[in-house]
Amino acid sequence: MNVKMDGVEMDVLAVWREGSVVKMVDQRKLPHSFEIIDLKDHKETAWAIKVMVTRGAGSIGCAAGFGMAQAALEAAYLPDKDFMVYLNDAADTIRATRPTAANLFKAVDKCLEAADWGKVSIKVENIVKAAEYILNDDIKATEEIAKAGGRLIKDGFKILTHCNAGALAYIGLGTALAPIRQAHRDGKNVFVWVDETRPRGQGARITAWELEQEGIPYALIADNAAGYYMQRGEVDMVIVGADRIAANGDTANKIGTYEKAVVAFENKIPFWVAAPGMTIDLQTKTGDNIEIEERDPEEVTKMWGLNDAGEPTTISIAGVGTNARNPAFDVTPAKFIDGFITEHGLIQRPFIEAFYSLFASPGIPPGNKYAGT
Ligand code: MRU
């Protein structure tokens, strides 16, 4: 992602690794400041996932893979048995950070699979390669999603999106924003309605910022304004990302996605989910089996931003002691979804058959075959 901050232009990923250090764009600070944070060991990386220094299914998947690579490097001097105990403990720590996005769990599993062969030094090498492979594969997947989804977007389309499913949420071009970027780069006239996405404001703080960076026309709207524009015929399609897609197509994404899907259905507006195979979880049969993260109620009762003096400030928007609930995701039933934009192209009903034929194989070579990846 090309970033222009304070006149300086940089090409950055949401998450990357330099030796034993994991680096992340600190998304908690956007859009007011652009900072890179260093995580020195797997415990720091797990903390960063949990508190949402990085966020979005793909970015936390890559971070989880890199956390596993850090754990492997930390334990590289141990005998095999102790190495595996350390690695499994690290896997548990990373899995415990956030429960909903499939990518995080798949990344941890891929790294554990990479450790099922060879002496410790080979295992370390293979885990590091597996983590890098996940990142590179994700980047390629988003490029394919851009091409496949870009073809759905016609000149003059107004597209609604929810949360942030851009380059900061999914390494590379992002998921929902990838087709929009492609259409814009192809010279099509596109416009994006950006849902604010309370409580953490990923739309206001990150999607609007990403679109601004790329010069794609957009307007930020309050979450509860989306139905108004859909009813008035001012939305041609909805594209969202996903955190976990069940085998039947039921899709967990940021809280509020379900409401947008129902209103789109009512108004006969195409509703597409952009996500690669890493987010499709064939072990989860339906949306009922997806664990929904519940976060700190203070995210609902308080807001963060800059005050008039330009200083970062948290304000309370509810009375002291207000009872609040804060589910971070909801599940959109497959019946409201027109199709999925994946690295293998567009998938339409019946979803389950297409998912099994395209995504049932592991997609990453076994542990001893990483050479050259
Ligand atoms: O809580 P977050 O910010 O991690 O939630 C992110 C989302 O819900 C995104 O829409 C989703 O990950 C799709 S983009 C990879």
Q: Quick one: which atom of ligand 1 is closest to the CA of 58?
A: 15
Residue 119 makes CB contacts below 8 A (sequence gap 6+) with: 80
Q: How confident is the model at residue 361 (pLDDT cuts 50, 70, 90)?
A: low
pLDDT in tens, 37-92: 999 999 999 999 999 999 999 999 999 999 999 999 999 999 999 999 999 999 99
- Ligand 1 centroid from CA 78, angstroms: 37
- For residue 338, CA distances in Å to 18, 56, 183, 225, 351 come to 40, 22, 19, 22, 10
Enumerate the H helices of the chain as residue ranges.
42-50, 57-74, 80-95, 102-113, 120-150, 177-185, 202, 208-214, 226-231, 257-266, 298-301, 351-359
Of residues 99, 97, 110, the one with CA closest to residue 69: 110
Give the pLDDT score at 212.
Answer: 96
- 370 pLDDT higher than 50: no
Of residues 55, 105, 61, 113, the one with CA closest to residue 84: 113
Q: Quick one: which atom of ligand 1 is closest to the CA of 60?
A: 4
- Ligand 1 centroid from CA 199, angstroms: 13
Give the rounded distance of the alpha carbon of 126 from its chain centre. Answer: 25
Q: Quick one: which atom of ligand 1 is closest to the CA of 275?
A: 15
- 364 pLDDT higher than 80: no
Q: How confident is the model at residue 11 (pLDDT cuts 50, 70, 90)?
A: confident
Q: Do domains 2-142 and 148-359 have the same CATH topology?
A: no
Residues assigned a catalytic role? 243
Give the pLDDT score at 8.
Answer: 65
Say yes or no: CB of residue 62 within 6 Å of ligand 1: no
Of residues 105, 73, 37, the one with CA closest to residue 278: 105
pLDDT in tens, 274-287: 999 999 999 999 99
What is the overall mean pLDDT for the chain? 95
- 365 pLDDT higher than 50: no
Residue whose CA lies nearest to ligand 1 atom number 14:
165
Q: How confident is the model at residue 6 (pLDDT cuts 50, 70, 90)?
A: low
Residue 235 makes CB contacts below 8 A (sequence gap 6+) with: 158, 159, 160, 193, 226, 229, 264, 267, 269
Say yes or no: CB of residue 254 within 6 Å of ligand 1: yes
Of residues 370, 334, 373, the one with CA closest to residue 115: 370
User: What CATH code is assigned to 2-142?
Assistant: 1.20.120.420
User: What CATH code is assigned to 148-359?
Assistant: 3.40.50.10470
Sort residue 200 into left (φ over 0), alpha (ψ -120 to 50) or beta: alpha
Positive/negative CA dihedral, 224, 251, 169, 96: positive
Q: How confident is the model at residue 25 (pLDDT cuts 50, 70, 90)?
A: very high
Helix (H) or strand (E) run with residue 9 in it: strand 8-11
Average pLDDT over residues 104-130: 97
Mutate-to-test residue for ligand 1 from 134, 254, 341, highest number of ligand atoms within 8 A of CB: 254
Average pLDDT over residues 93-118: 97
Q: How confident is the model at residue 366 (pLDDT cuts 50, 70, 90)?
A: very low
Q: How many CB atoms lie within 10 A of CB 181?
A: 23
How many helical (H) and strand (E) elements, i.e. helices and strands, does the chain have? 12, 18
| pTM across the whole model | 0.95
Domain boundaries, the chain: 2-142, 148-359
Q: How far apart are CA 60 and CA 27, in angstroms?
A: 12
Q: How confident is the model at residue 373 (pLDDT cuts 50, 70, 90)?
A: very low
Give the pLDDT score at 5.
Answer: 66
- 208 pLDDT higher than 50: yes
Q: How confident is the model at residue 2 (pLDDT cuts 50, 70, 90)?
A: confident
Mutate-to-test residue for ligand 1 from 1, 55, 197, 255, highest number of ligand atoms within 8 A of CB: 55
Give the pLDDT score at 336.
Answer: 98
Q: How confident is the model at residue 3 (pLDDT cuts 50, 70, 90)?
A: confident
* Long-range contacts (CB closer than 8 Å, 24 or more residues apart) made by 343-350: 343/140, 343/141, 343/142, 343/144, 343/145, 343/148, 343/276, 343/277, 344/144, 344/277, 345/144, 345/148, 346/148, 346/149, 346/152
